[in-house]
Amino acid sequence: MSLRSPIGRVRGLGSAKEGVSHWWSQRMTAVALVPLTLWFVAAVTSHVGADHAEMAAWVGSPVTAGLFILLIAATFYHAYLGLQTVIEDYFHSEAAKVVTLVLIKGACLVLALIGVLSVLTLLFEG
Amino acid sequence: MATTNRPLSPHLQVYRPQLTSVLSILHRGTGIALAVGTLLLIYWLAAAAGGPESFAQAQELIGSWIGRLLLFGWTFALFYHLCNGIRHLFWDGGYGLELPDVYRSGWMVVTGSLALTVLSWLFGYFGGGL
């Protein structure tokens, strides 16, 4: 049980109305992306010039497919959080800010979905 | 409240660039570049899912000189953002915040990201195939 009063808890959330959740999510995805990025570069550089059959066999293994899906999820979540901060810093018109944030969020979702579905296609059909 | 034309901080055009400010701006810049660069990653995966023809087309595009140039810039942006991101995580933990440490870690990030970029391209050319 928390000893803080409701007003104290609400104030703790600050002007962003969400406390440290944005900050924390950005750090957690950053920590996840350290090993995932190193794996990605090592894996891609060792498959330079692969033809479609080699690519399908490689991405089509459960471990590689799983790592790719984790990479895509963490990347687009982290990218959205970062782009959101940039947009909130530099857009001074409220309407332009909201429209851009919605468009960026939509683009991140669509791209992540295409990426994950492509990996799953290679896993199940490749 | 109606002070719409007040000067915004920081005055980028007045201050002399320093390692600290340049690396900070570069972190944001590479972050934006990497977000745009995800288009290439998703295109590559979608082309592979599309079949041999679309994948061969994607490999040809990425393997062209302009594709390689983009990819080289993207590799540096990725390693810079990774190294400087780790530097940020140390700061978040309260470590390395003294000015001499900030400069030391800054130069470590610069040399580290350049070295990792060159090493991964050497590995790509001589380690993996092509």
| pLDDT tens, N- to C-terminus, chain A (126 residues) | 677 777 776 666 766 667 788 999 999 999 999 999 999 999 999 898 889 999 999 999 999 999 999 999 999 999 999 999 999 998 889 999 999 999 999 999 999 999 999 999 999 986
- The three-state (H, E, C) secondary structure of B4-45, written as one string: CCCCCCCCCCCCCCCHHHHHHHHHHHHHHHHHHHHHHHHHHH
CA-nearest residue to A105 within chain B is B35
Residue with tokens 């979905």: A113
Contact B45 A46 (CB under 8 A): no
Per-residue model confidence as pLDDT tens digits over B51-66: 999 999 999 999 999 9
- What angle, rounded to 10 degrees, do the helices at B65-92 and B52-63 form? 80
Give me the pLDDT at residue A126, please.
62
Closest by alpha carbon to B121, among B85, B48, B67, B72?
B72
| Chain A residue whose CA is closest to B91 | A27
Pair of tokens at residue B27: 């972190």
Which of residues 93 through 112 in chain A touch B, CB cutoff 8 A? Answer: 111
Q: Is the pLDDT of residue B114 over 80?
A: yes
Question: Does residue A23 contact residue B89 with C-beta atoms inside 8 Å?
Answer: no
Contacts of A56 (CB under 8 A, 6+ apart): A122, A126, B48
| pLDDT value for A15 | 64
Q: What is the mean pLDDT of residues B6-21?
A: 77
Length of chain B: 130
d(CA B46, CA A121): 9
Burial of A106 (0-12, 13-18, 19+ CB in 10 A): exposed
Q: What pLDDT is attached to residue B130?
A: 44
**Token pair of B14, please?**
């007045």
Cβ separation of B45 and A41 shorter than 8 Å?
Answer: no
DSSP-assigned letter for residue A46: T
Cα gap B59→B44, rounded to integer Å: 8
Interface of B with A (CB under 8 A): 28, 31-32, 34-35, 38-39, 41-42, 45-46, 48-49, 51-52, 55-56, 59, 63, 75, 78-79, 82, 85-86, 88-89, 92, 120-121, 123-125, 127-130
pLDDT at B118: 96
Measured between beta carbons, which residues in chain B are less than 8 angstroms from residue A111? 38-39, 42
Give the model's pLDDT for residue B13.
Answer: 73
Q: What is the mean pLDDT of chain B?
A: 91
pLDDT digits 0-9 by tens, B92-102: 999 999 999 99
Tens of pLDDT, residue by residue over B78-94, are 999 999 999 999 999 99
> What interface predicted TM-score (ipTM) does this complex get?
0.88
Confidence label for B67 from pLDDT (cuts 50, 70 and 90): very high
> From CA B116, how far away is CA B120, in angstroms rounded?
6
